[in-house]
């Protein structure tokens, strides 16, 4: 197991309000992969082979993950962006999400899942082509339009509270 990039806020793909309440962005990040290739000149680390990333109660699985970073004054890596590529799966508490790719821009605090996105949380389901979570404004946007399907539609199914027996 490779311990990497302490303090990294990692792909917490869930509705923003729930994210803010249930995720510790200061928790250590654990990365487990079959391989890691580091290019300090390019300032990126590429993890491949059934990648598993855990931070707090969040788990990310993907075929491949690229971590781009800058260096602080002391030469320590400061994560700038995380790209999860291929069979992306996110799990946190009761939320599960899948997509082809996932991106997290650390500086702007935007998380994006793209490509046949499906999200399930406690029986509530959403499907679309792309979802973006803005962690600053605590808002999210689901979209189903693509260049190939400009009329695409988001679909969802939501649970309804059941009446309590008398």
Ordered by where they begin, the domains of the chain are 2-157 (2.60.450.10)
- Distance (Å, whole) CA 4 – CA 1: 9
Burial of 163: CB neighbours in 10 Å, binned 0-12, 13-18, 19+: exposed
pLDDT at 2 (0 to 100)? 36
pLDDT means over runs of 10, the chain (166 residues): 31 40 63 93 94 84 93 86 92 87 82 90 88 77 82 84 83
pLDDT at 74 (0 to 100)? 93
pLDDT at 23 (0 to 100)? 56
């Amino acid at each position: 197991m490779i311990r990497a990039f302490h303090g990294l806020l990692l792909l917490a793909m869930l509705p923003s309000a729930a994210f803010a309440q249930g995720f510790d962005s200061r928790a250590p990040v654990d990365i487990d992969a079959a391989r890691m290739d580091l290019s300090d000149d390019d300032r990126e680390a590429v993890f491949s082979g059934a990648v598993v990333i855990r931070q707090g109660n969040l788990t990310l699985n993907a075929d491949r993950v690229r971590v781009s970073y800058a260096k602080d004054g002391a030469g320590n890596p400061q994560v700038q962006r995380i790209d999860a590529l291929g069979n992306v799966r996110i799990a946190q508490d009761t939320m599960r999400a899948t997509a082809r790719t996932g991106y997290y821009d650390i500086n702007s605090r935007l998380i994006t899942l793209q490509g046949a996105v499906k999200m399930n949380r406690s029986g509530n389901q959403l499907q679309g082509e792309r979802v973006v979570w803005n962690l600053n404004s605590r808002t999210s946007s689901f979209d189903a339009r693509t260049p190939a399907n400009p009329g695409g539609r988001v679909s969802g199914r939501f649970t309804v509270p059941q009446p309590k027996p008398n």
